[in-house]
């Protein structure tokens, strides 16, 4: 069973290895304004990790979630300021604003990756049958991240309350009240 730690009181050591969920990456590294309180909490924890010289790992799936969310927020913001609320993502990519936002997202992603270690997820060796069991409790990506963290002995940093329903033996570091109340 997972142990859940309050991000405000957890002290990372050099030996700790972390895996940041996409929602945390968005709080600390988005090109869009996010929830200031959570941005501060997760940014402060990132500073602690960097001072401790711990490593932070990332998978291609988290990177994809991060980029896709940034793009969706850009599109949503554009639709809110545009008369064309039916604009599809593929159409938005070709607008001047879409191109500008994609360029910003690309630059921001490159900056982000400088502090992260890319992880080889070795997908072909993972028991996918286990991952698709109980999807009503824990979505596939969350279950996959927990499985990956368990294999690689990584602590996951997330603000996603759904991780309370995932059953792997992984330390969870969070500011999420739902997760903390399950502790």
In a domain, 172, yes or no: yes
In a domain, 131, yes or no: yes
pLDDT in tens, 20-64: 999 999 999 887 777 889 999 999 999 999 999 999 999 999 999
* Residue 108 clears pLDDT 80, i.e. is over it: yes
Average of per-residue pLDDT across 127-137: 77
pLDDT in tens, 139-170: 888 888 988 998 899 999 999 988 877 767 89
Using an 8 Å Cβ cutoff, are 42 and 159 in contact?
A: yes
Percent of the chain scoring above 70 in pLDDT: 97
| Domain that residue 148 falls in | 4-61+115-181
**Residues 95, 34, 47, CA angle at the centre, nearest 5°?**
120
* Residue 135 clears pLDDT 80, i.e. is over it: no
* Residue 121 clears pLDDT 90, i.e. is over it: no
In a domain, 43, yes or no: yes
In a domain, 163, yes or no: yes
The rounded distance, in Å, linking the Cα atoms of 54 and 48 is 9
* Torsion over CA: 4, 8, 13, 18 (sign): positive
Percent of the chain scoring above 90 in pLDDT: 60
Given its phi and psi angles, is residue 134 left (phi above 0), alpha (psi -120 to 50 degrees) or beta?
left
Helix (H) / strand (E) containing 83: none
In a domain, 98, yes or no: no
What CATH number should be reported for the domain holding residue 24? 3.40.50
The rounded distance, in Å, linking the Cα atoms of 56 and 46 is 9
Pick the range with the lowest mean pLDDT from 56-65, 72-81, 94-103: 72-81
Q: Domain total for the chain?
A: 1
In a domain, 91, yes or no: no
User: Cα Rg for the chain, rounded, in angstroms?
Assistant: 17
Whether the full predicted model's pTM is greater than 0.85, yes or no, is yes
């Amino acid at each position: 069973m997972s142990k859940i730690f309050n991000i405000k009181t957890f002290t990372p050591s050099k030996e700790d290895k972390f895996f940041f969920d996409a929602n945390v990456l968005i709080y600390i590294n988005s090109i869009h304004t996010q929830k200031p309180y959570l941005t501060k909490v997760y940014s402060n924890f990132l500073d602690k990790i960097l001072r401790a010289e711990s490593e932070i790992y990332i998978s291609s799936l988290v990177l994809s979630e991060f980029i896709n969310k940034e793009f969706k927020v850009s599109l949503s913001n554009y639709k809110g300021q545009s008369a064309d609320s039916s604009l599809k993502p593929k159409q938005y990519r070709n607008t001047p604003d879409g191109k500008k936002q994609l360029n910003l997202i690309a630059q921001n992603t490159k900056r982000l990756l400088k502090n992260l270690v890319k992880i080889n997820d070795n997908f072909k060796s993972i028991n996918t049958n286990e991952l698709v069991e109980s999807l009503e409790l824990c979505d596939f990506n969350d279950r996959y991240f927990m499985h990956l963290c368990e294999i690689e002995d990584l602590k996951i940093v997330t603000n996603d309350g759904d991780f309370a329903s995932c059953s792997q033996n992984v330390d969870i570091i969070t500011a999420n009240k739902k997760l903390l109340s399950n502790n």
